[in-house]
């Protein structure tokens, strides 16, 4: 487990992280979100002993990173996928890390196989694409088979297959009881990957809750269904509009969007009215929409027109682009 208590970092008059307190627990994937400049990288650097807190503590299994006898066997991390000497091969890079931490050399070849770099292991790291560098960084994080993983933007540069591979990898690691703490700006992918969310803005904690609770809090009760028969549709709309706190939207296709009722409640009412429903379901906002709403006042680098440039206009739908991975 990672424990943060009152974690604070100041650079002169600038407060990068401000009294951050939370627990990153084992057995789940915890997503770390926040706008650019929110303090995510600084927080991760303090967890790994690369920056010293102005106040507060960052502990791994109850100890500061500097007190860990074999760091790679306690926590695996990737903060910068390009932080490799470009003339060293991927295998040599991992070999040096293994020797420094008393890890058997055979483990180097094992993790290279896991991340899909076995055939490129002897090439200079400077010739790797961004996606390949990310895979090498993940290999380094896995090298000591640690109980804690800290990964900053692990899907950068990966193609869709690589993104799915990272998703399965971190979820499998959490399922084995490990602590997984990862950041990403790809909200659609984070929604598929994380069980829990820690969201910060301007260095302060904005939310520390499960993914389900985070989305539910941002989503008023809303349901959608198709009523194929026009007469039945009119009957159902009349019953709905007679209730307080309900609004109904209709479409020529026969689709109803009902705010103020869950899918279960809409289904029960339709059954009572003997109305046939097709495609009944709850309507939830996406993680991107919920996140943008929460952090709207915490964006340091705001740009014009940002409200509409990343969504499709359909509830629950988001658009994400990945830079393709090339060998």
**pLDDT of 169 higher than 80:** yes
Whether 98 and 191 map to the same domain: the answer is yes
Whether 88 and 227 map to the same domain: the answer is no
Whether 254 and 108 map to the same domain: the answer is no
The last residue of one of the domains, among 154, 186, 208, is: 208
Burial of 282 (0-12, 13-18, 19+ CB in 10 A): middle
Range of the domain at 124: 2-208
CATH of the domain at 251: 3.30.70.790
The last residue of one of the domains, among 149, 176, 208, is: 208
Q: Label residue 305 by pLDDT band (50, 70, 90).
A: low
Model pLDDT for residues 20-32, shown as the tens digit of each residue: 999 999 999 999 9
**pLDDT of 309 higher than 60:** no
Whether 224 and 203 map to the same domain: the answer is no
Whether 97 and 189 map to the same domain: the answer is yes
Whether 62 and 156 map to the same domain: the answer is yes
**pLDDT of 300 higher than 90:** no
Percentage of the chain surpassing pLDDT 90?
A: 68
pLDDT for res 303: 59
Does residue 289 form part of some domain?
no
Domain count, the chain: 2
Does residue 139 form part of some domain?
yes
Q: Label residue 320 by pLDDT band (50, 70, 90).
A: very low
- Give the largest CA-CA distance in the chain: 75
Model pLDDT for residues 198-207, shown as the tens digit of each residue: 999 999 999 9
**Sequence-separated (6 or more) residues with CB below 8 Å from residue 208:** 22, 197, 198, 199
Does residue 241 form part of some domain?
yes
Q: What does the alpha-carbon distance between residue 249 and residue 255 come to, in Å, rounded to a whole number?
A: 8
The last residue of one of the domains, among 157, 175, 208, is: 208
- pLDDT top residue among 322 and 219: 219
Whether 52 and 91 map to the same domain: the answer is yes
> In the predicted model, what is the mean pLDDT of residues 164-172?
95
Whether 125 and 273 map to the same domain: the answer is no
Q: What does the alpha-carbon distance between residue 112 and residue 119 come to, in Å, rounded to a whole number?
A: 9
């Amino acid at each position: 487990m990672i424990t943060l208590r009152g974690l604070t970092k100041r650079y002169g008059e600038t407060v990068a992280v401000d009294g951050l307190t939370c627990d990153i627990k084992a057995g789940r994937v915890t997503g770390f979100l926040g706008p650019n400049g929110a303090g995510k990288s600084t927080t991760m650097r303090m967890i790994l002993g690369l920056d010293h807190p102005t106040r507060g503590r960052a502990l791994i299994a109850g100890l500061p990173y500097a007190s860990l006898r074999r760091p790679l066997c306690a926590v695996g991390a990737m903060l910068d996928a390009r932080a490799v000497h470009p003339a060293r091969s991927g295998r040599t890079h991992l070999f040096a890390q293994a020797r420094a931490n008393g890890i058997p050399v055979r483990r180097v070849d094992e993790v290279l196989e896991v991340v899909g770099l076995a055939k490129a292991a002897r090439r200079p790291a400077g010739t790797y694409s961004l996606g390949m560098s990310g895979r090498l960084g993940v290999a380094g994080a896995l090298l000591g088979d640690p109980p804690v993983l800290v990964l900053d933007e692990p899907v950068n540069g990966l193609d869709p297959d690589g993104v799915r591979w990272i998703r399965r990898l971190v979820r499998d690691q959490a399922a084995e009881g490990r602590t997984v703490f990862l950041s990403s700006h790809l909200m659609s992918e984070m929604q598929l990957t994380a069980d829990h969310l820690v969201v910060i803005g301007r260095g302060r904690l904005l939310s520390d809750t499960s993914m389900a609770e985070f989305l539910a809090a941002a989503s008023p009760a809303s349901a959608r269904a198709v009523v194929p028969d026009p007469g039945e549709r009119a009957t159902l709309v009349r019953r709905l509009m007679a209730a307080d706190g309900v609004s109904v939207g209709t479409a020529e296709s026969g689709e109803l969007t009902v705010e103020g009722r869950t899918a279960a409640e809409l289904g029960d009412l339709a059954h009572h009215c003997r109305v046939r429903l097709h495609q009944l379901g709850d309507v939830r906002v996406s993680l991107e929409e919920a996140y943008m709403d929460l952090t709207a006042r915490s964006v340091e680098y705001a740009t014009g027109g940002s409200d509409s440039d990343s969504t499709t206009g359909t509830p629950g739908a988001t658009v994400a682009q990945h830079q393709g991975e090339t060998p």
